[in-house]
Structure 1
Amino acid sequence: MKLEKIKEFKKFASEVILKVLMKMDKDYQNYQKLDDYDGMQKIKLEFIPKYEALYLEFTNDISENLDELDDKKIESLMGIVNDIMKVNNINIDYILDEVEKREKLTGKSGAEAVEKLFKYQIKELESKMEKLLKQADIILDSEGKLEAELRDAIQEDAQMEFLDQLVIVRSKWSALEKKTIQCKSALDGLKDSLLKKWTYDIYGTISQEELKKVFSSEMKNK
């Protein structure tokens, strides 16, 4: 009975936290559209991390610390969750309906689709990064050879030729470096999103078909 009570509490609490995180994610996107850097930073660095930590805590599997979650502890935690609901104007019946939807859609929800998309994008970016690093090795090798030839060159014409080639090679390196930084940034962001879970779990109460319609509508409005 106790185990079941804890499981039900965690389902409810995690759904509440997800709704708050979803709202914050939308607020962040709105600030982004307005180019409001301060608003974006406040949500990203001050608000979201607190709820991310709570979500991971509530969605952890029942662990060895099960005995520590007695009735009083659960009541205390439920008080915190209730406060969060009041502040964010979240209705209890709405959360119960969302919990039910999530359970019914398990395996065919938008959450699974977005998680798969993240994993696919990560593989694609890892492949791209590998190619970029191979290109970097080739460019660095070319640069090293040209620098050695420049040092050994005696005639001015030869020196100028090697210098011109070095300018071209270094220009290629600069362009490649930008691509590599962008690729790594996108890759790190996706891996972070996959690790945090809530970034795709927020779509767990809508079907994959509904999610496609939402994304299609958003793309048309851009």
Structure 2
Amino acid sequence: MNKKDFKDYNTEVMLQILKKSEVELQKAEAENDSEKIKFINEEVIPKYEKLYLALAELDIRDKSEEEIKTFRETVDKIAESNGLTEEFIKKCISVREELKGKSGAEVTKRMFEYAVKDLKKKKIILLERMDVLLKEEAQLEADLKECIQYDAEMEISGKIVDVREKKRDLKEILDANDKEIEKIQNHINTKWRYEIFGTVSRDELKKAAEGE
């Protein structure tokens, strides 16, 4: 097995395990199985994501034949424990190569990139709203300091409370938006979230998304 085949085989095993994990996660979410959801999110996916990233970056140029053999045997054991045969993995590699540039992976990656772009646009709008509220709050606080009538003071104080409540609500939206950006950007950076669709054509992915 040459260096490229070695790398392709290793990463494909991890991608297929991660793809299987995603399917199981979706099923657990549909069944509202919180225990299984937690297990997959905290135990399964992090483990195989780490292996995928490590194997994708593994440089075997300075590795001995014995070391390479050990790596391969380890990956074979992982594949076997997850019900994946060598024949199946090689078929996935072949399909991935055939679909390169027209697979679901490219579509999914672009979808992630568009989502991040839209969320960043939304963040700009939210920050502009926050700036308006901050200026309004500052003006009300200044007015309160100058106020000498009790009724007017109570009115301004009430407005300040309202503005601060709006700020809190907006801050929650901003935090959620930032969290979503971080999550999707991580999907892009770690690659596997879209690469798992590299063995599916764009049309197949579209039909699956439409529930056909």
Shorter-chain TM-score category? over 0.9
Partner of 2:166: 172
Rounded to whole Å, the distance in 2 between the matches of 1:96 and 1:176 is 50
Partner of 1:88: 82
Rounded to whole Å, the distance in 1 between the matches of 2:169 and 2:190 is 32
Partner of 1:66: 61
For structure 1, the residue ranges without an aligned partner over 5 or more in a row are: none
Q: CA deviation at 1:189?
A: 0.7
What CA deviation, in whole Å up to 9, does each residue of 1:51-71 have, x standing for no partner?
A: 1121112223x75x621x221
Number of residue pairs the alignment of both structures matches: 212
2:120 aligned to which of 118, 126, 133: 126
The alignment partner of 2:61 has SS state of helix
Partner of 2:43: 46
For structure 2, the residue ranges without an aligned partner over 5 or more in a row are: none
Partner of 2:204: 210
The alignment partner of 2:83 has SS state of coil
Rounded to whole Å, the distance in 1 between the matches of 2:3 and 2:27 is 36
The alignment partner of 1:66 has SS state of coil
Rounded to whole Å, the distance in 1 between the matches of 2:162 and 2:50 is 48
Rounded to whole Å, the distance in 1 between the matches of 2:79 and 2:178 is 37
The alignment partner of 1:217 has SS state of coil
What CA deviation, in whole Å up to 9, does each residue of 1:107-165 have, x standing for no partner?
A: 11100110011111101101111111121111112112112211221101110220222
Q: Which moved more, 1:33-42 or 1:114-123?
A: 33-42
What CA deviation, in whole Å up to 9, does each residue of 1:179-198 have, x standing for no partner?
A: 21221111111011111110
Partner of 2:33: 36
Q: Which moved more, 1:195-204 or 1:81-90?
A: 81-90
Rounded to whole Å, the distance in 1 between the matches of 2:61 and 2:188 is 27
Partner of 2:157: 163
Q: CA deviation at 1:49?
A: 1.4
Tell me whether 1:186 sits opposite 2:180 in the alignment. Answer: yes
Q: Which moved more, 1:101-110 or 1:29-38?
A: 29-38
What CA deviation, in whole Å up to 9, does each residue of 1:25-69 have, x standing for no partner?
A: 122222222333332222212221121121112223x75x621x2
Rounded to whole Å, the distance in 2 between the matches of 1:176 and 1:210 is 40
Rounded to whole Å, the distance in 2 between the matches of 1:164 and 1:49 is 48
Tell me whether 1:55 sits opposite 2:49 in the alignment. Answer: no
Tell me whether 1:5 sits opposite 2:5 in the alignment. Answer: no
Rounded to whole Å, the distance in 1 between the matches of 2:45 and 2:200 is 22
Rounded to whole Å, the distance in 2 between the matches of 1:202 and 1:156 is 66
Tell me whether 1:27 sits opposite 2:24 in the alignment. Answer: yes
Note the aligned Cα RMSD (angstroms): 1.6
Q: CA deviation at 1:75?
A: 0.8
Letter in 2 for 1:169: V
Question: Please, what TM-score do these two structures have when normalized by structure 2?
Answer: 0.94
Question: Please, what TM-score do these two structures have when normalized by structure 1?
Answer: 0.90
Letter in 2 for 1:29: Q
The alignment partner of 2:2 has SS state of helix
The alignment partner of 2:210 has SS state of helix
Rounded to whole Å, the distance in 2 between the matches of 1:6 and 1:97 is 18
2:135 aligned to which of 125, 136, 141: 141
